Structure 1
Amino acid sequence: MPSFEFKHKGRRSVVTDVQSDAVNTSLPADFADNQQDWYKQVAKVFARVQKKDIADVPLDVWTKLIHTTYEGIDVNPLYTRADELAEVSAPGVFPFTRGGVATSAERIGWDVTETFGGTLSGTSGDPAATNKAILHALNNGTTVVVVDLTAGLTAADLSVVLKDVLLDLVEVRVVAGTEVKAAGEALKKLAEDAGVADKARFELAAAPLTDSIVGAEGISLADAVAIAVENAAWSGTIRTLLVDATVFANQGATDAQEIGFALAAGVEYVRALTEAGLSVEQALSQIAFRFAATDDQFAQIAKFRVARTLWARVAEVLEAPEAGFAPQHAVTAPAMFSQRDPWVNMLRVTVAAFAAGVGGASDVEVLPFDSAIQGGLPGTSRVFAARIARNTNLLLLEESHLGYVVDPAGGSYFVESLTKQLAEKAWAEFAGVEAKGGLREADIQADLDASYEKMRSDIARRVKKVTGINEFPNLGEKPLPAELRTEPTGIRRWAADFEALRDRSDAFLDANGKRPLIGMIPVGPLAKHNIRTGFTANLLASGGIETANPGQVTPGTDEFVTAAKASDIVVVCGTDQEYEATGADVVKALREAGVSTILIAGAEKSFENADVKPDGYVNMKIDAASTLSDLLTKLGA
């Protein structure tokens, strides 16, 4: 069984792995035969798709279905009892893999979090309006209130902002920027004046370590620690420090990096707090975590389980295992939000919220669907955007009844296996940072850059699909105003490269009254060219380029000449067999018609024997973002 080492103040302790290796499950007598049957059925499917004889397809062809994550974890197409692992502790019990608390009649599922007072709220700088919005939200399902004091509100406004909020029932967090101490004092006074100090739950979300990574305005680590020491002595619950792992996710971190770097930040805080005089238990009680939830469903379920488990293991090494559970806030990942066709974000956040909730997050904040657009989508009510976000959580909790099930993914061969493997990868990331002297000494930016580039490349080549962006784009939607075609700061959005192309197309539209256009030359009947004309139209639209499809055309006809003159650039679309029979003649005729750039929808091998070659190819293997950028340049956009 592998083990982990972690040093604290010169001590070295050995931490056991998250789970034991596979248990000796008694498999059914016919298990091996059934498994071989499955291998044969998979081989039959491959034989049919590849038009091969079944005898020519190996039984291990199923391995082609294995998917490898960005951490290097192989995800198999099928998990069985042979993959079973030893059962982990129950929810609410160390190491909290299955959840920090068990579901009870008083607490069904996760909390519903909403932020007020920020730039997207529509009430920034107005304490009374913010208070009205908070009370409305609390009456309609929100259970955790986050007050943003960085967009116009101040700590002095909190008495108005939180008027009539029952502080013994509602958890309140503030994003205070440089006003952490003032905000904390204001919150404590409000609770004391209301006589509920012993029942209040506050967080100040001071995040000096992660603020420094993105250059956000905040307080120093020393000041945050001093405030935490004061807060640890207060009669109520007030956590001062936040490990904001969304900062890592926004910079392109893999799930393992997000967890590993979060652990490193948490350990840095514990060291600083204990050096300032707090006990380990007191230090742990001053820390909360915040993670991004993407629409990669199973990976996110595992991520939240792993993050809890490994922080509990850290607490175990610090000899305070029972204090090893920290609030685990989830927010729908800003990096996955698109500006174009932002309505699709509603689908993304639904999957993300589901995964975070099922994964055991303490609370989930669903960001408004148009949060990637500065000020929100023009013409969209902020009340509507907030309501849709809030109701996404409520539908999952109250109509889908997910809150009534404790750790619903627990026991899944796949999820348990993924949890175990991700834990090992995340701990390795943490250990790597520790080996370099901790988060403040380690240069994690290079790691973030490398992982981001892998994902960016996959999106550019359309290996990773982003609906509405590099797949199924909607060129008919109303363009964003020019002043809103900007990138949010500190976030490397998945859609950014393709949306930059769409921005160029929109600018061309503004100047010319039409979008850049490329003509298609379909060869052969509809049934044969339709797949590649559809592929081409979808590909070009993702770069903001319209297409003209005249239907089947034949060299020597008036229709062919008209189609050839639709644009300086054309894409020939047909089957490989059609290219072999008439491809060279089509390219020659297009040259004679004066077309400057001729592309073929298909692989280069389809023209390897032709005496006349096209200028390029469009297919699933190209860097679509780069190719589309070049085409826009040629079209003058």
Structure 2
Amino acid sequence: MSTVTGSIIDLLERKRTSDVSNTAETGYTEWQRGVAGVLAKARRVDPSELPANPETLLGAATYDGITISPLYSSRDDLPESTLPGEFPFVRGRDAGRDVNRGWLVSGRFGGTDAAQTNASILDGLENGVGAIWLTVGTSGVAAAAIPAALDGVLLDLAPLTLDAGTDVVAAADELFSILDARPADSPDVTINLGAAALTSRFSGKADLDLAGTVELAGRAVQRAETVRAITVDGTAFHNAGASDSEELGAAVAAGLEYLRALTGAGVAITAALRQIEFRFAATDDQFQTIAKFRAARTVWARVAQVCGASEFGGAPQHAVTSEAMLAQRDPWVNMLRTTLAAFGAGVGGADYVTVLPFDASLPADAVEASPAFKARMARNTQLLLLEESHLGRVLDPGAGSWYIENLTAAIAEKAWEFFQKIEADGGYVAALEAGSIADAIAATKAQRDSDVAHRRKSITGVNEFPNLAEKPLNTVGSNDVARYGAAFEALRDRSDAYLAAKGVRPRVLIAALGPVAEHNVRTTFASNLLASGGIETVVDDSDATVAILCGTDARYTSEGEAKVTELRAAGITTVLAAGPEKAFTGETRPDHYFTARIDAVAALSQLLETLGA
């Protein structure tokens, strides 16, 4: 009887699964027909002229060459991943992470005054910081002052990461002395010394060399505490313009180079793997960031597997909100960007998350806000996500999402391909010296810059919805990070210089054709576009020498030639048009045409020159 009952249940389950599958397939087919109907209407073609899978026309490509589908369904289902803490660690490296705590809020502390730094650290720890990132050396406390900077800090409760550059050995000596003198529960102490020889070599940052790093790691291995000597800093590639897969692939290649050096010096592979942590950038593309951190663990786990130590492939991840995405203009919007970035990193399984201050892309005195306020906002961004939104309560909440799982797999595959290219070039150091890593990243940066210049990629407050009324900012001394909005912000700097010299912004006269209902769309478009270059639009200016026509194509055809003639007779030397050239049929035409497809940076730069800026 039990066999018969089991067979019946099995048959019913198969029928239920088949019915669900058939229903889903029918629904997908109906959706495809709906997509075809909308696209055919928009493109003014017959549906039969569209591809068999019309939804492919709605896909969006990432800088990794991955196509993001407009809809994911059970058709995109992938095999279920292993649990957190198990190879390949896609769902997290630590199955026992405290869900009441979530990821660790990492605060960055610097400054040359050890007493002041100590006060900042203690204040941060009392107000939600769970991990310390301490700058040592030229822009931070002296190595010898580390004991003073860490006075009263319980290192068994707050993991410590150093950014010490060439002072890392001296800093390690001080830390080891502190640990030797403290009756602490050693296994609970976690310290990341932060030596980043290989990635610093790419970015040009002064750091300990590889031989010194290997020697330092050899000392760290002997410690009873959890001490990691090496940080593979993927942000070095990200800040140069790398795509996500390029950042991951190059970082993994650097990590493998460290493993070769360590094992070559006699360190066991299991101990070598425990000497490495990764640092990656988190951006405001939340789903891309979630998938990126999951993919990073997958790729590194594969390296550990090939090395014969799969169970040691779960390296810690330190997420830092992207400097490249931060804008210098309307910098308060950066608070929203970093919130999304922290969300993505936390949901993606990062162990530590550092939110940079909203003005990190500007000199310290550019924004009228105290350092304490900036640090508090950066800290509270994460605390809001953890303690009010409870994002840390679930390990890998993105698991099972068709979109996230497919995006994770796609990024991992592309990262592995880039890693293999580096290996084919002879490994990380050889590829670095040959320039192949830099060349690939430069190509991605050029593509992104083009998208920003053509406004295919929007940056709020910079190339879209700029605020011309904001106070001019001091941008002198900004770092060399390849920020997304840098080209537009350089135009705004030219406008600020013009304002300082003339008392007004560069101006263009709006010449509207027809009633408001007709010209409003293009008037708004023109004002927004010109403002992104620091150019003010006015409706009445007797001294104007440049004007832009705003109207419908039909108005341009019937009245455009006469209006251009009228403007030139009134002293306008340059006539622009918001719209396509084909709308003007007469012999007298505007000088330039501004449409949504133009290279706005080039066009606005030329216009500023025309206006004397």
TM-score relative to the length of structure 1: 0.90
Tell me if the contact between 1:522 and 1:573 (Cα under 8 Å) persists in the aligned partners: yes
C-alpha deviations, 1:394-437, integer Å up to 9, x for none? 11111111100111111111111111111111100000000111
Shift in Å at residue 55 of structure 1? 8.2
Q: What residue in structure 1 maps to residue 130 of structure 2?
A: 143
- Match status 1:536 vs 2:536: no
**Structure 2 residue matching 1:147: 3-state secondary structure:** strand
* Structure 2 CA distance for aligned equivalents of residues 248 and 569 of structure 1: 42
Tell me if the contact between 2:203 and 2:237 (Cα under 8 Å) persists in the aligned partners: no
Tell me if the contact between 1:519 and 1:566 (Cα under 8 Å) persists in the aligned partners: no
Q: Paired residue for 1:92, among 85, 89, 96?
A: 85
Q: Paired residue for 2:286, among 289, 297, 322?
A: 297
Tell me if the contact between 1:232 and 1:238 (Cα under 8 Å) persists in the aligned partners: yes
* Structure 1 CA distance for aligned equivalents of residues 407 and 459 of structure 2: 23
Q: What residue in structure 2 maps to residue 513 of structure 1?
A: 503
Tell me if the contact between 1:130 and 1:161 (Cα under 8 Å) persists in the aligned partners: yes
Tell me if the contact between 1:103 and 1:404 (Cα under 8 Å) persists in the aligned partners: no
**Structure 1 residue matching 2:89: 3-state secondary structure:** coil
**Equivalence map 1:556-595=2 (5 Å):** 565-595=542-572
Quickly say closer, same or farther: Cα 1:183–1:203, change in 2 above 3 A: same
Shift in Å at residue 630 of structure 1? 0.5
- Match status 1:81 vs 2:81: no
* Structure 1 CA distance for aligned equivalents of residues 308 and 252 of structure 2: 16
Q: What residue in structure 1 maps to residue 142 of structure 2?
A: 154
* Structure 2 CA distance for aligned equivalents of residues 337 and 56 of structure 1: 43
C-alpha deviations, 1:522-559, integer Å up to 9, x for none? 10110110011101100011110100035xxxxxxxxx
* Structure 1 CA distance for aligned equivalents of residues 328 and 606 of structure 2: 23
Q: Paired residue for 1:127, among 111, 114, 135?
A: 114
* Structure 2 CA distance for aligned equivalents of residues 415 and 198 of structure 1: 35
**Equivalence map 1:389-468=2 (5 Å):** 389-442=378-431, 443=435, 444-468=437-461
Structure 1, unaligned stretches of length 5 or more?
A: 1-24, 118-123, 551-562
**Equivalence map 1:5-404=2 (5 Å):** 28-46=21-39, 60-102=53-95, 104-105=97-98, 108-117=101-110, 124-150=111-137, 151-196=139-184, 197-404=186-393
2:370 counterpart letter in structure 1 = S
Quickly say closer, same or farther: Cα 1:57–1:316, change in 2 above 3 A: closer
Quickly say closer, same or farther: Cα 1:180–1:428, change in 2 above 3 A: same
Tell me if the contact between 2:99 and 2:395 (Cα under 8 Å) persists in the aligned partners: no
**Equivalence map 1:454-493=2 (5 Å):** 454-481=447-474, 484-489=475-480, 491-493=481-483
Shift in Å at residue 30 of structure 1? 2.5
Shift in Å at residue 276 of structure 1? 0.8
Shift in Å at residue 143 of structure 1? 0.4
Quickly say closer, same or farther: Cα 1:243–1:412, change in 2 above 3 A: same
Tell me if the contact between 2:217 and 2:229 (Cα under 8 Å) persists in the aligned partners: yes
Q: Paired residue for 1:630, among 606, 609, 612?
A: 606
C-alpha deviations, 1:307-355, integer Å up to 9, x for none? 0011011000000011101110000000011111100000100111101
Shift in Å at residue 167 of structure 1? 1.1
* Structure 2 CA distance for aligned equivalents of residues 498 and 406 of structure 1: 40
Quickly say closer, same or farther: Cα 1:470–1:486, change in 2 above 3 A: farther
Shift in Å at residue 42 of structure 1? 2.5
Q: What residue in structure 1 maps to residue 6 of structure 2?
A: none
Tell me if the contact between 1:485 and 1:503 (Cα under 8 Å) persists in the aligned partners: no
Shift in Å at residue 103 of structure 1? 5.3
Shift in Å at residue 486 of structure 1? 4.0
Quickly say closer, same or farther: Cα 1:233–1:106, change in 2 above 3 A: farther
Quickly say closer, same or farther: Cα 1:75–1:159, change in 2 above 3 A: same
Tell me if the contact between 2:156 and 2:189 (Cα under 8 Å) persists in the aligned partners: yes
Shift in Å at residue 448 of structure 1? 1.3
Q: Which moved more, 1:148-157 or 1:432-441?
A: 148-157
Shift in Å at residue 102 of structure 1? 2.5
Tell me if the contact between 2:100 and 2:393 (Cα under 8 Å) persists in the aligned partners: no
C-alpha deviations, 1:21-73, integer Å up to 9, x for none? xxxx8552233321122123334444565677878877744332110111111
Shift in Å at residue 566 of structure 1? 4.6
Tell me if the contact between 1:210 and 1:247 (Cα under 8 Å) persists in the aligned partners: yes
Tell me if the contact between 1:518 and 1:566 (Cα under 8 Å) persists in the aligned partners: no
Quickly say closer, same or farther: Cα 1:584–1:53, change in 2 above 3 A: farther
Tell me if the contact between 1:66 and 1:74 (Cα under 8 Å) persists in the aligned partners: yes
1:160 counterpart letter in structure 2 = A
* Structure 2 CA distance for aligned equivalents of residues 85 and 376 of structure 1: 50
* Structure 2 CA distance for aligned equivalents of residues 165 and 423 of structure 1: 38
Q: Paired residue for 1:497, among 477, 484, 487?
A: 487
Q: What residue in structure 2 maps to residue 610 of structure 1?
A: 586
**Structure 1 residue matching 2:277: 3-state secondary structure:** strand
Tell me if the contact between 2:109 and 2:133 (Cα under 8 Å) persists in the aligned partners: yes
Quickly say closer, same or farther: Cα 1:324–1:55, change in 2 above 3 A: closer
**Structure 1 residue matching 2:32: 3-state secondary structure:** helix
* Structure 1 CA distance for aligned equivalents of residues 315 and 97 of structure 2: 19
* Structure 2 CA distance for aligned equivalents of residues 136 and 162 of structure 1: 12
